[in-house]
Structure formats: structure tokens, C-alpha cells
Amino acid sequence: MFKIISAVIGRDLKLAMRRQADIVSALFFFIIVVSLFPLGIGPEPDLLRKLAPGVLWVAALLATMLSLPRLFADDHRDGTLEQLALAPHPVGLVVTGKVIAHWLVSGLPLALVAPVLGIQFDLSADALIVLTFAILIGTPALSGIGAIGAALTLGLRGGGVLVSLLVLPLYIPVLIFGAGAVDATVTGLGGEGHLSLLAALTFASLGFAPWATAAALKIALE
């Protein structure tokens, strides 16, 4: 079971390393969108502190969306998806591997740059730590839920826009608890409750999403 998951992760990471432009463009999108807000709003620390959690999280959702359409599309086009579906393992395990690889190249870099971007919003050290944590444990849920959307729109024309319409509403709970955790820290309430709910969302979606995705892929491959 772990062998197939690690084989898929290894392959996808190797492919991502050969195609670094994809990773870098999503990351720079995140950096630029987040940096535009302080420039547009002006130097008002109170307002910026208030906006920071929401802005960072919305930008993280959009940056994750950017790479979703390609999650299965490339494999579908060159026929490797068929071979993955024919591997002597449940397809859900293959999808789990792909979701983990997607998080490693899209979610993890966001969490690593988030604290640096948070400084622009005058966030306190505590809030920055919570922000990093929240993005670290929330983004796997984004990859998992996104995989369902990517599989459902596989092979459709204009699939990219459709993925956003399908997936963004499902991201709302992650957005609420992710931004809420930072917000609660800023206001001094403590973000632990939000963080545990966020972790629960991530576990639930990582457990459930691969199987829903596998069912969607099966339909796409018929």
C-alpha cells in the first residue's frame, strides 16, 4: 500500500522538478496577489492586520486552484492515467499519492513564504506562527478537495474555469477556519480551536476525497 503511494509521489515530484515553471508561477502568483493589498490599501497597520488572514487565505486558495487543472490532465493526455488505473491497486491509493505530491509542490511552498508575506501586514510573531501552521495543515485539504474537481472536469473543454466553480465553494470551510485561526490569535482569543477544526477538515478530506476522485476518474476513463 505504501509502496504504490510512494512510487506515485516519487514520480510526480520528479516530473515537477523537470517542470519547475509550474511550481514557481503558482508561488509567485501568491506572493504578488498578497503584496498588492498593502500597496493598494496604504500604510494603515490596524486595517492591514484585520485584513491579513482573509487576504492570505483567499490568495492561497486561488494559487492552489491554478495548478489543479493539470493534476490529472497531463496524465490523461499521454495515456499514463490509464496505466495508473490499471495498476493492481485500488485507484484511491494512486490518487492519495498524487494528492500528497500536489500538496508538496503547491501547498508546502505557500506555507513557507506565508510568514514573510505576513510581515507586510504588520502581524505579530504569534500570529505569523499560527498563520504558517494554519496554511500548513489546511492546504492538504485544498489539494484533496481540488482533486475531486479536477477529476470531474477531466477532458472537458474550459475545464479550468469549471474546476474553480466546482471547488471554490467547497473550500469555504477551510477558508473560514484558516482565516479564523489567525484572526483569533490577533484578537487574543487563541487559535487552537480553529486549528483543530482545520486539522479535522484535512483528515476528513484526505480520507474521503481520494475515493470520490477515483470514482470520478473511472467515469472519465470510460
Partner 1 sequence: MLEADNLECVRGERRLFAGLNFKLEAGELLYLQGRNGSGKTSLLRMLIGLLPPEAGEIRWRGQAIATLADEFRADLCYLGHLNAIKEELTPLENLLAAAHLADEELNDDDALDALEQVGLAGREDLACKYLSQGQKRRVALARLVKEKRPLWILDEPFVALDVAAVDWLAGIISGHLQRGGLAVMTTHQLVDIPAGTVRELRLS
Query: Which residue number, 11 or 50, has a Cβ lying nearer to partner 1?
Result: 11
Query: Which residue number, 18 or 157, has a Cβ lying nearer to partner 1?
Result: 18
Query: Which residue number, 25 or 187, has a Cβ lying nearer to partner 1?
Result: 25
- CB count, 10 Å around CB of 60? 28
Angle (deg, nearest 10), helices 70-78 and 192-221:
20
Least CB distance to partner 1 at residue 89 (A): 6
What Cα–Cα distance (Å) separates residue 55 from each residue in 23, 59, 68, 155, 170?
A: 21, 6, 20, 32, 18
Residues that bind partner 1 (CB under 8 A): 3-4, 7-8, 10-11, 14-15, 18-19, 77-80, 82-90, 94, 218, 221-222
Phi and psi dihedrals of 87, rounded to 5?
Answer: -65, 145
Least CB distance to partner 1 at residue 16 (A): 9
Least CB distance to partner 1 at residue 109 (A): 20
CA distance 5 to 103: 14
- Collapsed DSSP state (helix, strand, coil) of residue 123: coil
Query: Which residue number, 23 or 62, has a Cβ lying nearer to partner 1?
Result: 23
Least CB distance to partner 1 at residue 93 (A): 10
Q: Are 136 and 202 in contact (CB under 8 A)?
A: no
Grid cell locating 152: 470531474
Query: Which residue number, 80 or 120, has a Cβ lying nearer to partner 1?
Result: 80
Least CB distance to partner 1 at residue 210 (A): 16
